[in-house]
Homo-oligomer: A and B are copies of this chain.
Amino acid sequence: MTLPRPDLLVEAPYAPNPRRVRIFMAEKGIDLPREQVDIMAGEQFLAHAERVGTFHVPALHLDDGSWLTETVAICRYLEALHPEPNLMGRDAREAAEIEMWSRRMEFQLFYPVAQVLRHGNPKMAVMEDQVPQWAEANRTRVQSGLELLEHALSRDGYVAAGRYTIADITAFVAVEFMRTIRQELPEAHDATHVWRGLIRARPSSVP
């Protein structure tokens, strides 16, 4: 069976979800033409939404004319086309552990960081009907998410499966994105500091 090939990645500078896909692609050595959408200027609601059918970025164009969105769906498709290095699990058991941890990092760390920014920063009012109390509530969630990350990393240095996977990408992009909400890693989170240093040193991590 011949799978349609990707021929364009539409992304946005600074935004964390496109960064997840960029890192995923860099780890696999995938090079694709790219276009930028300026989400602070609202471009995603205009021509981008018109052609993709949704305002979400990133979006992957395939050579059968279709578009794929949703970061993890994009990554899983790229993993099927470029299996090595494996980032989502070599067998069903490992894939389950990696997906479980990647989702925990999404819901308990990545998403709360984004909520603090989107509902707490006046500049983001162009993208969001802001609920400042929700931004505040998510500061606490970010702390809990960081505790969970430290707990995971304390076992064997990576978020899941004892090796670098998409779960590390999700968590790393979330931690790096904390810069936008002026939140620091707790000093005491030794395993997370070591891990962040190692991940930052990977060539795939250039912003």
Q: Does A100 contact B (CB under 8 A)?
A: yes
Task: Tell me, yes or no, whether A93 is within 8 Å of chain B by CB.
Answer: yes
In terms of DSSP, what is the predominant structure of the interface of chain A?
A: helix
Docked Cα-Cα span, A76 to B99, in Å, equals: 9
B91 contacts A1, CB within 8 Å?
yes
A77 touches B (CB below 8 Å): yes
A112 to chain B, nearest CB (A): 13
- The size of the chain A interface, using a CB distance under 8 A, is 30
Given contacts A76-B95, A92-B3, A92-B81, contact A100 B70 (CB under 8 A): yes
Q: Is A129 an interface residue (CB 8 A)?
A: yes
- Which residues in B have their C-beta under 8 angstroms from that of A77? 92-93, 95-96
A39 at the interface (CB under 8 A from B): no
Residue from B80, B92, B103, B133 within 8 A of A92 (CB atoms): B80
User: Is A68 interfacial (CB-CB < 8 Å)?
Assistant: yes
Also in contact, A68 and B100, with CB within 8 A (given A3-B92, A77-B93, A93-B4)? yes
